[in-house]
Structure 1
Amino acid sequence: MKIYSYVVHHDFGLAPNPFGKYCTLTVCKPKIRKSSNLEIGDWIIGTGSKNIEDTTGFKCLNRLIYAMKVSEKIPMEDYWNAPRFQYKKPVVNGSLVAMYGDNIYYKNSDNDWCQVNSAHSLDHGQRNEGHLDTDVGGKYALVSEEFFYFGDSAPIIPEEFSDFIKPGVGEKKITDEKETLKFVQWLESNFDTGINGDPINWREYQQTEIIIE
């Protein structure tokens, strides 16, 4: 069992998308998603960033935003078509949960990738080439049925696991099975699986509402 660790630069409920039965990672982090070394049963963890702190005021450095155990690797085009993931297609004028749906890519009759109006498109639903290339470059949608999503309830990562944190951009792979098992045992012993908090960046909407009032 391996653990892939990275810093979460934005936490809107899009990457990862923890809603419903499944926690999914379908956009961003293409290197992790397309890695041939990523196996079913491996874990992915996302830790807090200065960017989130600067945009929301929430102190989240050295905190765990989420952890998901990979149960499936699904090709992106199959993710779009799968009946069980239709609820993750975005509704941009819907609730915050619906707005940040991550099932946003499909192939047309010419076998070209298309992007629906979503959090990764430009204003008025125009195609965002940068996001599209990055997102579909990951090849797979990663699915988890055993996950811990904390968001604004993110716990401090114990000092003994400080080496698991990847500072800055990129990813870090932890392969020491004794250490990865200890980390999972810490999670399972102290927290409930599923959603334990709201996405941190939703605070931006709350701040906007306060200003308007």
Structure 2
Amino acid sequence: MERLIKQTENPSLYSYIVSYDHGNAPNPDFNICTLAICKPVIRRCAKIGDIVLGLSPKRMGNHIVYCMVIDEIVEWQDYYQRCKNLTDLNHRIPTDKNHNGDCIWIHQENGEYALLESKSGHDESCKHRDLYSGKRVLIGRKYWYFGSNHPTHYIQLPNAHLSVGRGHRKTTEQQLINEFILFFNEELKQRGIHSLGKHGNYFA
């Protein structure tokens, strides 16, 4: 039975609104969760062991879209090679405009990045935010994804301490984090969720 536990002594918890849940940010497919685009400050500042919590917009109830523990952080210039060479990531290179792969920037020999077509909606104006402000890709193999598209498991936060408006919220107070972990694990137990991974869908 998989449960959320602290992987490091004093993790931070980052919470933010998943404004567009189309499988790109986060990408929860194939038993691995990645945050490669959007939320540049979180990607730049988070560390291994931190918890990332994505919430639906207020109009959709601020329920939990996903919860991920970061177990690996990859620099963007290395991400394409990882996606190209490793079987657990190679489906993340988008093949057309309807593909939800998040490895949308290809590092070229001349040092520049080329943008691939994808479902992300990102264009050249997003390059600085994705690559130079965010810099890194967050990877988690311990995650629960419930989705925004009519989720079966509609979990709302027990209080407003972790909720967020614009941007994101970084929580370092360990008592609050401990309380969230207890709450989240109880929700998993009550709903009969015993495994990691996807337990819902994003918008097509």
How would you bin the TM-score normalised by the shorter chain?
A: 0.7 to 0.9
CA contact (8 A) 1:24 1:141 kept: yes
> Which AA in structure 1 matches 2:50?
D
CA contact (8 A) 1:120 1:131 kept: no
CA contact (8 A) 1:76 1:106 kept: no
CA-CA distance at 1:133 after TM superposition? 2.0
CA-CA distance at 1:102 after TM superposition? 0.6
Partner of 1:146: 142
Q: Secondary structure at the match of 1:188?
A: helix
Q: Identify the structure with the greater helix proportion.
A: 1
Instruction: Please list, as runs of the form range in 1=range in 2, the aligned pairs for 1:76-91 lying within 5 A after superposition.
Output: 76-82=76-82, 83-84=85-86, 85-91=89-95
Instruction: Return the alpha-carbon distance in structure 2 between the equivalents of residues 156 and 116 of structure 1.
Output: 35
Q: Following superposition, which runs of at least 4 residues in structure 1 exceed 4 angstroms of deviation?
A: none
Instruction: Return the alpha-carbon distance in structure 2 between the equivalents of residues 67 and 102 of structure 1.
Output: 18
> Which AA in structure 2 matches 1:42?
D
> Which AA in structure 2 matches 1:156?
I
Partner of 2:4: none
Instruction: Return the alpha-carbon distance in structure 2 between the equivalents of residues 156 and 188 of structure 1.
Output: 11
Instruction: Please list, as runs of the form range in 1=range in 2, the aligned pairs for 1:27-38 lying within 5 A after superposition.
Output: 27-35=37-45, 38=46
Q: Secondary structure at the match of 1:74?
A: strand
Alignment identity in percent? 27
Partner of 1:47: 55
1:127-179 residue CA offsets vs partner (Å, 9 max, x unmatched) = x21122211121111000111101132523243x3210102x21101111121
1:66-97 residue CA offsets vs partner (Å, 9 max, x unmatched) = 11111111011211101222111112266xxx
Partner of 2:130: 135
Partner of 2:172: 175
Count of residues in Structure 1 that have an aligned counterpart in Structure 2: 180
Instruction: Please list, as runs of the form range in 1=range in 2, the aligned pairs for 1:194-213 lying within 5 A after superposition.
Output: 194-199=197-202, 201-202=203-204
CA-CA distance at 1:121 after TM superposition? 5.5
> Which AA in structure 2 matches 1:181?
N
With normalisation by structure 2, the TM-score equals 0.81
CA-CA distance at 1:62 after TM superposition? 2.2
Change (3 A) 1:89 1:43: same
Partner of 2:23: 13
Instruction: Return the alpha-carbon distance in structure 1 between the equivalents of residues 28 and 117 of structure 2.
Output: 20
CA contact (8 A) 1:4 1:44 kept: yes
Change (3 A) 1:109 1:183: same
Instruction: Return the alpha-carbon distance in structure 1 between the equivalents of residues 128 and 119 of structure 2.
Output: 15
Partner of 1:125: none
**CA RMSD of superposed structures (Å):** 1.8
Gap regions ≥5 residues in structure 2: 1-10
Partner of 2:117: 117
Change (3 A) 1:115 1:43: same
Gap regions ≥5 residues in structure 1: 54-59, 123-127, 203-213
With normalisation by structure 1, the TM-score equals 0.78
Instruction: Return the alpha-carbon distance in structure 2 between the equivalents of residues 121 and 195 of structure 1.
Output: 23
Q: Secondary structure at the match of 2:106?
A: strand
CA contact (8 A) 2:104 2:115 kept: yes
> Which AA in structure 1 matches 2:71?
S
